[in-house]
């Protein structure tokens, strides 16, 4: 038995896979201690757990811990002269014409950074080792400072880690977790390596405590953790490398959407994951998209993660008026506690309240009847909010939805139009409990003609975790010029990376019998600052020229190239996705029609439960399609059709 668990800011989602069957479940999250919702949901979903059962957990503990600055008291040990590197960062100006830029304050104080007299040259030559006497004084300072974690980041340690390993071994007696940059991110560019290693050390004790508690409560099952690259890792690895869990939950969603799309034969998709707190979007052109330029609260995270764009827009996003009286929605969210007004405790209107007021949610059938809604509270609060805005309550509710849609439309454009891809060439795949209510309107805005709402729309991130596999991403900076390139040398270096990957898996007790590996090279023209990742093939030089011309409109065929970094991804075989055929059972007491407000007028929408739809039967909007984890609004411009597995396909008519 495998259970996928995705902890979100508002709901915690579950998918249980057993003997080829799938069961879905949702509970309200417990932000003060996410483990409580995880354990409660598993208890409600299955009677008992047995040795050999697996729980794959996608968590927001690392991300939330960093954003809320709840990480460990972390000491940073670096080369003398580089104490202020984390504060200085890069001299990039992302907002070129903004004269009032506010730089994010470093999450590690300057007084927590200690310098060491050591030096390694760029070619790996060891010039100076740290002196034991100096390290003894440093150890005393660390004890006196009551630090909880240590990050060691020395200049050029990616090519020769001797000094970092020496300091790490010396400080081992302190009993504190030590993050060495040569192990966390063995690549050049000292600021990115420093930032990534410091984030890793800062979050280590937080995640270690969380997973230790969760493991004890879930015994005797095997607990695995969803990585940001779409694969799984063990709990000891997650505690040692928490930086790999930054996009844990959204990564499961994108991986699940890619699995569903492959199952349905759809190579080109844009994913739209709208939950209660945030919206995650991505574009996938046949394969999972990756990036190494992700930033967490403006600090670079250099490890490979799925290329996901996240904004603060969800069902729980709060509507408010700025100082000029303009309507805004988000990024602040009502979360799980107190939640939207209609949940019974909150007092601030949210997108969910607006959808309920417009008739797009059925109070008695929300989440399959598992959560009671209070429309009278929403109605009273909406009237008060509309009077402040100077419009009718219906206009206020419609305005809240429109502003939220505008925010999400910009995010979808960021991963498509702004990168040279036209949305009309892609299918919009929805996931997250709130996505179905906004999919049609966003598709109309972006000229997308087809939408898919998978059978597990509201819990698709958890489904992606259940259908995932173990994955390891390794890299090594080599800085090889074109005249140094030899096929045998590259093969030898890649074999070394593969050997390291297998050793990592073996240390965690994972036997990689069936696996696939992907080799890539980061290549640039000599003299350039940044690289393009190119698959390692026999004609990789020609492929690089072609890709450079595609991206930038030109290529320098007479200029030497340089390979900066080798990259290897090793992944064990993942279980095949098996979607059960949809049965003919469903809720029998649903009303046949319901008036809802759309495009400035009331329309009669047909009401149906997803499990009652006949495969192949087409019906036009307006309609509301319910299931136990989400609600789909089919607008009049679309026609809907369910397949034999219960996936809902929407196609634009005009």
Angle CA(591)–CA(596)–CA(599) in degrees, nearest 5? 155
Give me the mean pLDDT over the 175-184 stretch.
96
Query: pLDDT of 318-329, one tens digit each?
Result: 999 999 999 999
Strands 450-453 vs 290-291: parallel, antiparallel or unpaired: unpaired
Q: What is the mean pLDDT of residues 594-601?
A: 93
Cα–Cα distance measured from residue 575 to residue 469, given in angstroms and rounded to the nearest whole number: 7
Mean pLDDT, all residues of the chain: 91
Lowest mean pLDDT among 365-369, 471-475, 647-651: 365-369
Over range 333-345, report the average pLDDT.
Answer: 90
| pLDDT > 80? residue 59 | yes
CA dist 322 and 2 (Å) reads 47
Is the bond leading into 338 cis (omega within 30 degrees of zero)? yes
478 pLDDT above the threshold of 50: yes
Q: Kindly tell me if the per-residue pLDDT of 509 is higher than 80.
A: no
* 440 sits in which H/E element: helix 439-446
Give residue 639's Cα distance to chain centre.
31
Type and span of the H or E element at 238: helix 235-240
Q: To the nearest 10°, the Cα dihedral for 643, 253, 5, 648?
A: -20
CB 615 within 8 A of CB 644: yes
Cβ-Cβ contacts under 8 Å for 548 (sequence gap 6 or more): 525, 532, 554, 555, 556
Peptide bond into 622 cis (omega under 30): yes
Instruction: Kindly state the tokens that stand for 581.
Output: 């055929």
Encode burial over 378-414: b for 16+ CB neighbours within 10 A, e otherwise: bbebbeebbeebeeebbebbbbbbebbbebbbebbbe
In this predicted structure, the answer to whether residue 586 has a pLDDT above a threshold of 70 is no
Report CA 242 to chain centroid distance, whole Å: 14
Cis bond before residue 331 (omega within 30° of 0): yes
Average pLDDT over residues 269-279: 93
Element (H, E) at 545: helix 540-552
Tokens (6 digits) for 210: 């969380």
Find the mean pLDDT for residues 88-111: 87
Query: Are the C-beta atoms of 80 and 116 separated by less than 8 Å?
Result: yes
pLDDT band at 20 (very low <50, low <70, confident <90, very high): low
- DSSP letters, 143-175, are HHTT-SEEEEE-TTTTT--HHHHHHHHHGGGG-
Which token pair is 357? Answer: 């007021």
- Give yes or no for residue 585 having a pLDDT over 60: no
pLDDT band for position 148 (cuts 50, 70, 90): very high
As given in the structure block, the two tokens for residue 603 are: 């329309």
Residue 538 CB: number of other CB atoms within 10 A? 8
Q: Is residue 414 scored above 80 in pLDDT?
A: yes
Asked whether the CA dihedral 353, 357, 359, 365 is positive or negative, the reply is positive
Say what percent of the chain tops pLDDT 90. 72
pLDDT score for 516: 86
Q: At what angle do helices 375-389 and 393-415 cross, to 10 degrees?
A: 90
φ, ψ (nearest 5 deg) of residue 513: -90, -50
- Calpha distance 108→78 (Å, rounded): 13
Q: How far is CA 340 from the centre of its chain?
A: 24
Maximal C-alpha separation, the chain: 81
- In the predicted structure, residue 654 carries a pLDDT above the cut 70: no
- Find, among 5, 101, 93, the residue nearest to 45 by Cα: 5
- Say which residues have a Cβ less than 8 Å from residue 25's Cβ, sequence separation at least 6: 13, 14, 15, 16, 41, 44, 45, 459
Mean pLDDT of 100-125: 93
Q: What is the mean pLDDT of residues 80-105?
A: 88
pLDDT for residue 10: 85
Q: What is the pLDDT of residue 504?
A: 82
pLDDT of residue 582: 64
**H or E, element range at 194:** helix 190-218
Convert the pLDDT of each residue in 23-45 to its tens digit: 889 998 998 899 999 999 999 98
**pLDDT value, residue 87:** 92
User: Of the candidates 572, 1, 7, 578, which has an alpha carbon nearest to the alpha carbon of residue 253?
Assistant: 7
Q: Which are the contacts of 80, defined by CB distance < 8 A and separation ≥ 6? A: 115, 116, 117, 118
What is the predicted pLDDT for the residue at 587?
47
- pLDDT band (50, 70, 90) for residue 512: low
Single out the residue of 29, 32, 24 nearest to residue 7, CA to CA: 29
Query: How much is the pLDDT for 590?
Result: 67
User: Does the pLDDT value for residue 420 go beyond 70?
Assistant: yes
Phi, psi of 601 (to 5 degrees): -155, 165
For the stretch 354-369, pLDDT in tens is 999 999 999 988 887 7
- 161: pLDDT strictly greater than 70: yes
pLDDT band of 573, cuts 50, 70, 90: confident
What is the band of 506 on the pLDDT scale with cuts at 50, 70, 90? confident
Band of the pLDDT at 583, cuts 50, 70, 90?
Answer: low
Please report, for residues 1, 15, 41, 173, 504, the alpha-carbon distance to residue 4 in angstroms, rounded to integers and kept in the order given: 10, 5, 11, 38, 24
Q: What's the pLDDT score for residue 589?
A: 60
Query: How open is the CA angle 524-530-535, to the nearest 5 degrees?
Result: 50
pLDDT at position 400 is: 97
Across the range 609-628, mean pLDDT stands at 88
* Per-residue confidence band for 501, with pLDDT thresholds at 50, 70 and 90: confident
> Which pLDDT value is given to residue 299?
94
């Amino acid at each position: 038995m495998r259970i996928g668990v995705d902890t979100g800011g508002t709901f915690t989602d579950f998918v249980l896979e057993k003997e080829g069957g799938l069961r879905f479940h949702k509970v309200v999250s417990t932000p003060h201690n996410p483990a409580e919702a995880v354990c409660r949901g598993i208890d409600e979903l299955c009677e008992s757990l047995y040795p050999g059962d697996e729980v794959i957990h996608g968590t927001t503990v690392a991300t939330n811990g960093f954003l809320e600055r709840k990480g460990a008291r972390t000491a940073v040990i670096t080369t003398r002269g580089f104490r202020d590197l984390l504060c200085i960062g890069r001299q990039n100006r992302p907002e070129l014409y903004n004269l009032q830029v506010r730089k994010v304050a470093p999450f590690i104080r300057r007084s927590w950074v200690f310098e060491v007299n050591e030096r390694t040259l760029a070619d790996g030559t060891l010039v100076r080792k740290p002196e034991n006497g100096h390290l003894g004084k440093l150890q005393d300072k660390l004890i006196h400072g009551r630090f909880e974690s240590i990050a060691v980041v020395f200049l050029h340690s990616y090519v020769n880690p001797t000094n970092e390993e020496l300091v790490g071994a010396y400080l081992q007696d302190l009993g504190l977790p030590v993050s060495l940059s040569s192990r966390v991110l063995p690549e050049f560019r000292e600021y990115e390596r420093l930032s990534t290693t410091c984030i890793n050390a800062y979050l280590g004790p937080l995640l270690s405590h969380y997973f230790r508690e969760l493991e004890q409560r879930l015994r005797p099952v095997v607990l695995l953790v969803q990585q940001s690259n779409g694969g799984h890792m063990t709990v000891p690895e997650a505690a040692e490398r928490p930086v790999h869990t930054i996009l844990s939950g959204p990564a499961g969603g994108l991986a699940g959407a890619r699995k569903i799309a492959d199952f349905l034969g759809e190579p080109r998709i844009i994913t739209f994951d709208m939950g209660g707190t945030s919206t995650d979007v991505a574009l996938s052109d046949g394969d999972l998209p990756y990036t190494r330029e992700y930033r967490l609260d403006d600090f670079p995270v250099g490890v490979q993660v799925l290329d996901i764009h996240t904004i603060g827009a969800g069902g729980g996003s709060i509507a408010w008026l700025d100082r000029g009286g303009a309507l805004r929605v988000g990024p602040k969210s009502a979360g799980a506690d107190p939640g939207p007004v209609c949940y019974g405790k909150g007092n601030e209107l949210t997108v969910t309240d607006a959808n309920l007021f417009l008739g797009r949610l059925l109070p008695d059938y929300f989440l399959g009847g598992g959560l009671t809604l209070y429309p009278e509270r929403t109605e009273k609060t909406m009237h008060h909010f509309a009077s402040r805005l100077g419009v009718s309550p219906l206009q206020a509710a419609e305005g809240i939805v429109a502003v939220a849609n505008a925010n999400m439309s910009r995010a979808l454009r960021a991963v498509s139009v702004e990168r040279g891809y036209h949305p009309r060439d892609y299918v919009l795949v929805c996931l997250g409990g709130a996505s179905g209510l906004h999919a049609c309107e966003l598709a109309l805005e972006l000229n997308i003609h087809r939408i898919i709402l998978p059978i597990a729309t509201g819990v698709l991130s958890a489904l992606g975790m259940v259908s995932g596999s173990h994955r390891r991403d390794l890299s090594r900076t080599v800085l090889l010029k074109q005249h140094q390139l030899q096929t045998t040398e590259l093969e030898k270096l890649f074999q070394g990376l593969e050997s390291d990957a297998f050793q990592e898996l073996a240390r965690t007790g994972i036997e990689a019998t069936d696996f696939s590996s992907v080799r890539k090279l980061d290549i640039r023209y000599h003299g350039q600052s940044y690289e393009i990742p190119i698959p390692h093939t026999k004609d990789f030089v020609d492929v690089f020229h072609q890709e450079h011309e595609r991206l930038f409109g030109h290529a320098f065929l007479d200029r030497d190239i340089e390979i900066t970094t080798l990259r290897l991804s090793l992944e064990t075989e993942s279980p095949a996705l098996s979607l059960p055929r949809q049965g003919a059972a469903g809720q029998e007491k649903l009303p046949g029609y319901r008036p809802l407000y759309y495009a400035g007028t009331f329309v009669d929408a047909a009401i149906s439960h997803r499990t009652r739809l006949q495969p192949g039967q087409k019906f036009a909007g307006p309609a509301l399609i319910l299931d136990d984890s989400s609600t789909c609004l089919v607008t009049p411009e679309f026609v809907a059709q369910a397949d034999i597995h219960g996936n809902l396909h929407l196609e634009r008519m005009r």
